[in-house]
Chain A
Amino acid sequence: MTKRSDILRCRVKIMEAAIGDIVKSIAGRDSGRYFIIWEVLDSSYVMIVDGDLRKIDKPKKKKVRHLKTTGIKAGIESGMNKKNMKETNAAIRKLIISHTSGLE
């Protein structure tokens, strides 16, 4: 039976990350905080927001290797855009809290 590669397990998981996924930062000054992927730039960079430290008008560009996926897809809804910034930031904060409250 074939062994699942440990070398790549982490990278492969992150590469699957898409807009709306909840991720945990594992490097940098925001290390340990949860974010939502707002935009995927390429295979190694994404833009992340949490509606608090990083609001949607100024998302944080982050290397995917500095993120850990939680496997939770929160989903960015169509109403979530820069037009209604305040509501969107609040909604993102709520989404992150509701999805990650059980996690360590």
Chain B
Amino acid sequence: MITIKSAKEIDLMRKAGEITALALQKVGEAVVPGVMTAELDKIAEETIRKNGAIPSFKGYPGYAEAKPFPGAICASVNEEVIHGIPGSRVLKEGDIISVDTGAIYRGYHGDAARTFAVGMISEKAAKLIQVTRESFFRGIGKAVAGNRIAEISAAVQEYVEKNGFSVVRDYVGHGIGAEMHEEPQIPNFAVKAKGPRMEQGMTLAVEPMVNEGGSEVRTLDNLWTVVTEDGSLSAHYENTIVITRGKAIILTVLDN
């Protein structure tokens, strides 16, 4: 079931979004060669808790036999697409790191992701990050009340493929609110089903995951971390948005 949020609920989600964005900003400032991903996780968790919210990823139940997620952030480096587990890995010059995090504020979720460059990165990696970010904005250009979900999907895919990259198909964006994952699903590629029409007050997490090479991915033995099958780089960009009659409003930004 797709839930339509009241103005009051959206206000809470805006606050959750702001805290999420702040955590990402703090993490982004700390991304330098030599930093351990566990340190980034700590920064995010502290920021979220200090602002009266709860890190929503920590303890999130896994699929099948996966253990609950141990971190407040997903730290996915280079060929890791999503759900990288923060730990002892040390970032080095030229890496790219996708950081995904979420906060629960008085029962409502914010969810966002950014891909950061570690020091100087290759031109191709920089383009990948830029295209991933831009594909999100192309997608939400279609996120208007009355349009269908599939229009977001098609806009993301078209922009990504025009730039010579591919979109991940096994994982999708999602509705969000009192739960982290609500209906509907938001694929980043065109599907036969047009998906539901968007209505004012729907809140969605739109999140293109873009691979430098092929779109195929696989899950590592930790049952969480998803990597590109061909080992190519992958980037991720995500925001929580609210649908209005005009342009969608991004909730996971700082200057709300």
Residues of A within 8 A of B (CB): 1-8, 12
Q: Are B74's CB and A3's CB within 8 A?
A: no
Q: Are B69's CB and A1's CB within 8 A?
A: yes
Alpha-carbon distance between A5 and B169 when the two chains are bound, in angstroms? 8
Task: Name the CB-closest residue of B to A3.
Answer: B174
Dominant secondary structure at the A interface? mixed
Write the B53-74 contact mask toward A (1 if CB under 8 angstroms, else 0): 0001100100100000100001
Residues of B within 8 A of A (CB): 56-57, 60, 63, 69, 74, 82-83, 100, 102, 111, 169-174, 180-181, 185, 187, 191, 193, 207, 209, 236, 238
Alpha-carbon distance between A1 and B74 when the two chains are bound, in angstroms? 8
Task: Name the CB-closest residue of A to B100.
Answer: A1
Closest 10 CB pairs of A and B: A3-B174, A2-B171, A5-B172, A3-B181, A2-B82, A1-B57, A3-B172, A12-B170, A5-B170, A4-B171
Q: Which residues of B contact A2 (CB under 8 A)?
A: 82-83, 100, 171-174, 207, 209, 236, 238
Q: Which residues of A contact B180 (CB under 8 A)?
A: 1
| A64 CB → nearest B CB, Å | 16
Alpha-carbon distance between A29 and B82 when the two chains are bound, in angstroms? 41
Q: Which residues of A contact B173 (CB under 8 A)?
A: 2-3
Known contacts A6-B185, A7-B185, A7-B191, A1 near B170 by CB under 8 Å = no
Alpha-carbon distance between A5 and B189 when the two chains are bound, in angstroms? 12
Known contacts A8-B169, A8-B170, A12-B170, A1 near B191 by CB under 8 Å = no
| A76 CB → nearest B CB, Å | 23
